[in-house]
């Protein structure tokens, strides 16, 4: 703390004492009510200070999970508190949320997501297999008419439907490789085409 900072602090403390002393002498008879009101205003002040101090965290959390379209074929995605990156793609016009999984070979859909985009899951041929953390599962190949992410639309995209239970669809390398560049740094995933 510099000498100027110390001088300012002493000035503010003396000013607060003078204003507080004047206020107390003016309201001697109802000191209990004055103290109650002073405490209420003190808590309001602390709430405002705390809210201001936490505002950046609140903004970061509210922006969390939101894809930022940077233009020129660039997409930026913030890492979520669980450590994953999530993207919502429009498959055949229907929004489907994916977890980005660079360890997955393909775009892998849950059994529910194909229904949402108009595919008949019961008519699919589960002729493939995939090795997962939960063991080997049956898969069915599908072709998606359109896949849109930001302002980029791809047509005739290969994906597979997982015959087992999954919490959500996976966006694997089969789709990610369509982007010319994939970068992960500083808690951000950036796709560039």
> How many Cα neighbours within 13 Å face the side chain of 135?
5
pLDDT digit string (tens) for 80-89? 988 999 999 9
pLDDT digit string (tens) for 125-172? 999 988 877 788 899 999 999 999 988 899 999 999 998 888 899 999
CATH of domain 68-192: 2.40.70.10
**Which of 31-40, 63-72, 179-188 has the largest mean confidence?**
179-188
The sign of the CA dihedral 150, 154, 156, 160 is negative
pTM: 0.64
Which of 18-32, 70-84, 93-107, 152-166 is predicted with the least confidence, judged by mean pLDDT?
A: 18-32
Asked whether the predicted pLDDT for residue 1 surpasses 80, the reply is no
CA distance 10 to 15: 9
CA distance 65 to 86: 6
Asked whether the predicted pLDDT for residue 60 surpasses 90, the reply is no
3-state secondary structure of 67: coil
CA distance 24 to 27: 5
Which of 39-43, 109-113, 121-125, 160-164 is predicted with the least confidence, judged by mean pLDDT?
A: 39-43
CA distance 111 to 162: 6
């Amino acid at each position: 703390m510099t000498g100027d900072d110390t001088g300012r602090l002493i000035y503010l403390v003396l000013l607060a004492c003078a204003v507080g002393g004047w206020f107390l002498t003016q309201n001697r008879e109802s000191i209990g009510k004055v103290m109650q009101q002073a405490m209420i205003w003190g808590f309001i002040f602390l709430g405002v200070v705390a809210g201001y101090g936490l505002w950046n965290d609140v903004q970061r959390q509210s922006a969390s999970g939101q894809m930022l379209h940077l233009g020129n074929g660039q997409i930026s995605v913030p890492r979520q508190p669980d450590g994953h990156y999530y993207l919502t793609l429009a498959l055949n016009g229907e929004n489907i949320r994916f977890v980005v999984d660079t360890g997955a070979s393909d775009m892998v859909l849950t059994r529910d997501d194909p229904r949402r985009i108009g595919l008949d899951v019961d008519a699919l041929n589960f002729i493939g297999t995939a090795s997962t953390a939960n063991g080997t599962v049956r898969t069915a190949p599908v072709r998606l008419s359109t896949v849109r992410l930001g302002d980029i639309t791809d047509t005739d995209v290969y994906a597979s439907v997982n015959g087992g239970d999954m919490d959500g669809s996976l966006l694997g390398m089969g789709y990610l490789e369509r982007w010319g560049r994939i970068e992960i740094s500083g808690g951000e995933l950036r796709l560039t085409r």
